[in-house]
Amino acid sequence: MAFCEPAEVVSVARLTPSMIRVRLRAQGQWRWFDDGRGDERIDLAFPHPGETVADISYFNDEHAGIVREDQSPPWRHYTARAVFNGGTEFDVDFVEHDGGVASAWAKAAEPGHVLGVFRGAAQSRAYHMPPEDSEWQLLVADATGLPGLARIVEELPAGARVQAVVEVPSESDRQHIDTRGQVTWTWIVGEGGAQSVLPEAVEEISLPEGPGYAWVACEAAASRRIRSILRRVHAQPRARHRAVGYWTAGVAGHVEQEKERP
The predicted-structure confidence for 68-106, as pLDDT tens digits, reads as follows 555 678 999 999 999 999 999 999 999 998 878 999 999
Q: Across the beta sheet with 136-141, what order do the strands follow?
A: 182-189, 161-168, 136-141, 212-219, 241-247
The whole-number mean pLDDT for each consecutive block of 10 residues of the chain, a chain of 262 residues, reads 90 98 97 95 94 92 59 89 97 90 95 94 92 98 97 98 98 97 97 91 97 97 97 96 90 52 40
Identity at 46, one-letter amino acid code:
F
Regarding beta strands 19-26 and 41-45, do their DSSP bridges make them parallel or antiparallel, or are they unpaired? unpaired
CA gap 140, 142 in Å, rounded: 7
**Residues 22-53: tens digit of each pLDDT:** 999 999 999 999 999 999 999 999 999 889 99
Predicted pLDDT at 70: 57
DSSP 133-156: T-SEEEEEE-TTTHHHHHHHHHTP
Parallel, antiparallel or unpaired: strands 161-168 and 136-141: parallel
Could you give all domains of the chain from N- to C-terminal order, each with its CATH number? 3-119 (2.40.30.10), 136-247 (3.40.50.80)
pLDDT (0 to 100) of residue 191: 85
Q: Give the pLDDT of residue 262.
A: 39
Non-local CB neighbours of 89 within 8 Å, separated by 6+ positions:
10, 23, 24, 25, 26, 83
CA 70-74-77 angle, to 5 degrees, is 145
pLDDT number for residue 259: 47
Please report, for residues 104, 105, 157, the alpha-carbon distance to residue 181 in angstroms, rounded to integers and kept in the order given: 35, 35, 6
What whole-number distance in Å separates Cα of residue 225 and Cα of residue 76? Answer: 24
In this prediction, residue 122 carries a pLDDT of 83
Q: According to the model, what pLDDT value does residue 120 have?
A: 77
Q: How far is CA 116 from CA 129, 160, 164, 227, in A?
A: 28, 36, 32, 33
SS3 content of the chain, % helix, strand, coil (to 5): 20, 35, 45
pLDDT of residue 64: 56
183 and 150 Cβ atoms separated by less than 8 Å: no
Parallel, antiparallel or unpaired: strands 114-118 and 182-189: unpaired
Q: Tell me if 111 sits within 8 A of 9, measured CB to CB.
A: yes
